[in-house]
DNA sequence: CTTGACATTGACATCAGTGTCAAACTCTAG
DNA sequence: CTAGAGTTTGACACTGATGTCAATGTCAAG
């Protein structure tokens, strides 16, 4: 598929897809005419990248994270102690973010519940309730 | 306490503390000499703000989130349907971030485990292992 | 009183993430 | 062949979060 379709399916603008590629977070084959071509796998990849970036992970780190996943997926035990330590450090940061966000999430939930708006909480699971 | 001490205790630079105040995420009393003065409560507050901002929540939203918590803490049922809906929407976004980060966290953990570096995972719980 | 550490405000600078626009190319449909 | 939609690269611009610097004020210690 071409970039337009990928954009449509991921909700990420073509502009950003190219940007992510430029940041080495993505690779794309080229059709003979020069157009970027993508596979199904890219849909997942792009969503993932966008999600992490949105979650405040700088692209530099996103790369490390995804590279880690890729390596794991390919069963590569390529992991010098040094890299492992860096990952462990990142892990702490990621966990801190999760904790912080989790607290906020719970606050919102509690608040909504306390103000008799539990109804709205259903939208969490069922995305499209006639928006 | 003054801004320098607050900065030291939260690990957030004075520059940013002032910035957050400017963004209405913080309030500070002023000493007769004009210096900002803070209480213990501010330590928590600043850490929280910094954490959320770091987690990719724009300051504008951080304000909404913390205001919500404050309102809840003071038992104010000030919650017009409209606001509740906005919160519910934010909730979805926050949850998405949590999910995305959680996946990355698990990936890192699994990878470290798979490469015999479980040892490093302890650092998650015991922060200071002689850094 | 002087010095040095810390505060204040405000301006300027930087970096990352995005939007937007332009000029040129490709392809499909009519 | 032509028109229109989608693509390419590249440039410029903006916003948000931060760093840094400058000029000035406050205060505690010597």
Q: What angle do CA B73, B76, B80 make, to 5 degrees?
A: 125
Alpha helices in A23-122 (DSSP H): 40-54, 59-73, 81-114
Domain limits at A31? 1-77
Domain co-membership, B116 together with B129: yes
CA dist., res. B28 & res. B42, Å (int) = 9
CA dist., res. A8 & res. A82, Å (int) = 40
Domain co-membership, B103 together with B120: yes
CA dist., res. B104 & res. A5, Å (int) = 26
With CB atoms and an 8 Å threshold, state whether A55 touches B109. Answer: no
Domain co-membership, A42 together with A97: no
Domain co-membership, A72 together with A83: no
Closest residue by Cα to residue A80 from B120, B126, B24, B52: B120
Strand D reaches within 7 A of the B47 CB: no
Nearest residue of chain A to residue B50 (CA atoms): A100
Domain co-membership, A68 together with A4: yes
Structure tokens at A62: 């996103």
For chain A, give the mean pLDDT.
Answer: 88
Domain co-membership, A61 together with A101: no
CA dist., res. A43 & res. A28, Å (int) = 12
3-class SS string, A76-104: CCCCCHHHHHHHHHHHHHHHHHHHHHHHH
Domain co-membership, B89 together with B129: yes
Strand C reaches within 7 A of the A15 CB: yes
Domain co-membership, A90 together with A64: no
> How long is chain B?
131
Q: What residues of chain B lie within 8 A of the CB of A120, using their CB?
A: 84-85, 87-88
Domain co-membership, B30 together with B65: yes
Domain co-membership, B17 together with B30: yes
Based on the structure, what is the number of domains in chain A?
Answer: 2
Residue where one domain finishes, among candidates A42, A58, A77: A77
Examine the pLDDT at B124 and tell me if it is beyond 70: no
pLDDT at A124: 63
Domain co-membership, B36 together with B53: yes
CA dist., res. B27 & res. B124, Å (int) = 33
Over the stretch B2-50, which tens digit does the pLDDT of each residue have? 999 999 999 999 999 999 999 999 999 999 999 999 999 999 999 999 9
Over the stretch B66-99, which tens digit does the pLDDT of each residue have? 988 888 888 776 677 877 888 888 899 999 999 9
Domain harbouring A41, CATH code: 1.10.1660.10
Give whichever of A29-33, A90-94, B90-94 has the largest mean pLDDT.
A29-33
């Amino acid at each position: 598929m071409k970039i337009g379709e990928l954009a449509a399916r991921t909700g990420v603008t073509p502009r950003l897809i190219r940007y992510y590629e430029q940041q080495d977070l993505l690779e794309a084959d080229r059709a003979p005419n020069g157009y970027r071509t993508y596979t199904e796998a890219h849909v997942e990849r792009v969503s993932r990248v966008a999600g992490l970036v949105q979650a405040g992970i700088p692209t530099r780190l996103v790369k490390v994270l995804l590279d880690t996943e890729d390596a794991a997926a390919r069963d590569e035990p390529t992991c010098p102690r040094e890299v492992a330590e860096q990952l462990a450090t990142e892990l702490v940061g990621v966990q801190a973010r999760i904790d912080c966000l989790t607290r906020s999430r719970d606050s919102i939930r509690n608040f909504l519940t306390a103000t008799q708006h539990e109804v709205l909480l259903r939208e969490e699971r069922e995305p499209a309730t006639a928006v």
